[in-house]
Amino acid sequence: MAEFTLELNEDQKQVRDWLHGFAAEVIRPAASEWDEREETPWPVIQEAAKVGIYSLDFYAQQFFDPTGLGIPVAMEELFWGDAGIALSIVGTGLAAVGVLANGTEEQIGTWIPQMYGDADDVKLAAFCSSEPDAGSDVASMRTRAVYDEAKDEWVLNGTKTWATNGGIANVHVVVAVVDAELGSKGHASFIVPPDTPGLSQGQKFKKHGIRASHTAEVVLEDVRVPGHCLLGGKEKLDERLARARERAKSGGERVKNAAMATFEASRPAVGAMAVGTARAAYEVALDYAKTRTQFGRPIIDNQGIAFQLADMRTRIDAARLLVWRASWMATTNKPFTSAEGSMSKLYASETAKQVTAQAVQILGGNGFTREYPVERMHRDAAIYTIFEGTSEIQRLVIARTLSGMPIR
């Protein structure tokens, strides 16, 4: 078991510096263009694939880092470059985590490579959980999966929304209801292979921030997938549903559903994304405050500005520590007895929102224009308190974990 340390080892430092260089030299120069275009930045993704960042090997190396810090370090550096482009590069990872969290070894080996492709033929994947009437309220999910025993196929019908890479992905991971009576415990995850009939893209959303990342509805109309596309397999699903039914009758312990298993595994990573965006905005504000002169001196000489920067840096460092702790705990199989994963996502998300707003304020009128990047960073930061569990949901998870009470 790896010892916890705040000092990155040499391999981690090399990866961090390599990613920082890519973010500075490739991502940042393209950030404004793709934000304005509101399109998937294919050239940047292809460049990331060419150098080995957008690849299964790189993702696996970071995911299986024994300290747990591989993924958060990588996310922070990429999102320091630009949140929208970085999300286009790492968006496939959420679908991959869905397979890792719920799939068999055979499914992991079969499908995750197909989510990335290679440098000559880049592929994408999408994780589809939210619905028009089921965001935070996952128990209201309406997408259904019905088993056709005669053909050993599952038939999926419904509409998913807010799906990163939705509709343009080669592989979709779809969460659907298999037993409506069990609420959120009656959900399962399915792989929808490339070119499966019945799956189509619905509305593509024009967003406030992260505009270089494709977000759309995914419509499923009598989508038939083979039985082996049920993540975890039918035997495991039947056993899980049987336990859920028994516990529902007896009022026993709760059973995690497929979507929640994915989100729990990814929350510290989202926190690291937020830290990267916050750090980027802080650095712009710090440099600006040192060079912007008013009343004959740099504005950082004023306590009103200097104290803001001190608070910004303090919050960023505290957020990173919470993310690193949760990532280390997850990797070393230490239980989140105080909802440490949710804590990290909550604090880092709120930090990104606050720090980017302060950066805009420090830059004044310049901060409100697109000539400076903090305006874009502030728009991007808003998503962290919303996706993969809103800040309100994180607080609910933390409160329930601490109190043991069914707080609503």
The DSSP letter of residue 368 is G
Residue tagged active-site, from 36, 38, 388, 392: 388
Q: Would the CA dihedral through 29, 31, 34, 37 be positive or negative?
A: negative
Angle between helices 374-381 and 83-90 (to 10 degrees): 50
Here the tokens at position 214 are: 């494709």
Write down the residue that tokens 């078991």 correspond to: 1
Contact in structure between 89 and 136 (CB atoms under 8 Å) = no
CA nearest to 225, candidates 313, 128, 340, 81: 128
Residue 261, phi-psi category: left (phi > 0), alpha (psi -120 to 50), beta (remainder): alpha
For the chain, the residue count is: 408
Q: Which residues lie across from 379 on neighbouring strands?
A: none
Helix runs in 251-339, H state only: 258-291, 303-331
Q: Computed over its alpha carbons, how large is the radius of gyration of the chain? A: 22
CA nearest to 88, candidates 40, 30, 127, 139: 40
- Residue 388 designated active-site: yes
The DSSP letter of residue 136 is S
Maximum Cα–Cα distance across the chain:
82
CA nearest to 323, candidates 382, 277, 255: 277
Q: How far is CA 157 from the centre of its chain?
A: 25
Question: How many CA atoms, within 13 angstroms, populate the side-chain half-sphere of residue 7?
Answer: 3
The DSSP letter of residue 3 is P
Here the tokens at position 360 are: 């805009």
Helix (H, G, I), strand (E, B) or coil at 400: helix
- Per-residue b or e along 376-401, where b marks 16 or more CB atoms closer than 10 Å to that residue's CB: bbbbbbbbbbbbbbbbebbebbbebb
Active site residues per annotation: 388
